Structure 1
Amino acid sequence: MQKLVFLLTCCVMLLCSVASYAEGQSSDLNAVMKKIGFAYKQIMQAPDIPSAQQGIDEMRGWLSKSREFNFKPSVANESLQGLEKVARELDAVEAALAQQDLDKAKQVAANIDGLRKEYHKLHEPPGFWELLFGQFK
């Protein structure tokens, strides 16, 4: 009986540690993605070119930070490609700002929201079994 209790205790501890690790990685990435979203809103709501440029600069910093995360191996390449696409869109936004065209910059920046929707599908929250067994693949 004591062996069974010990075995069950070990299993529960293992489950908790796997879930805790996955949750920690996910919550850090979520926090960075929310900051990217806030920078995006700054660009879209910018009343002038310097404000839009400030949003771009912040977004680039958070994009750089997001590249440091360990994405799930099954979606890592696609995730990094998505981040690169966002960076290219920011280049196009900056080009419009260099031409002093804030409206065009905002139109180009709207493409970023489409990328967000496309690539967030890759990062649906993991299910219980994936948390339990997915880390060991």
Structure 2
Amino acid sequence: MDATIYHNPACGTSRNTLALIRAAGIEPTVVEYLQNPPSREQLSTMIADAGLTVREAIREKGTPYAELGLDNPGLTDEQLLDAMIATPILINRPLVVTPLGTRLARPSEVVLDILPVDAFKGPFTKEDGEQVLDQGGKRVV
């Protein structure tokens, strides 16, 4: 299966998502989006395909969101996209694209929605110790 993750290696959620994809036996295309941001069209498509609004796809924490005045409700989607392209740290992560869909994997286990159900053969535990998959590779609820 093809998969692409827009990844920030400094982000624990992004690292956990990448590890889950690899645990499914998939070696994804890893795009470190801070160095290689998606095009405006790619970003807009991913946001729409993930069922998000542009505002939902903006990262506020640890970014210049407030300093740039992006909390202004009068800003259009086009203006918000411009800001995200100009300052990629504003793109919330990780965005993952597979043939089964596109998701903003926050929390990381959201990526399971777009991976093959039968891909996991064993347990998976996130960096913080939270178990996501049980011994049989089934999602822990």
TM-score with structure 2 setting the length:
0.30
TM-score with structure 1 setting the length:
0.30
Between structure 1 and structure 2, the one with the greater Rg is 1
Query: Looking at both structures, which has the greater relative contact order when contacts are Cα pairs under 8 Å and sequence separation is at least 6?
Result: 2
Higher helix share: 1
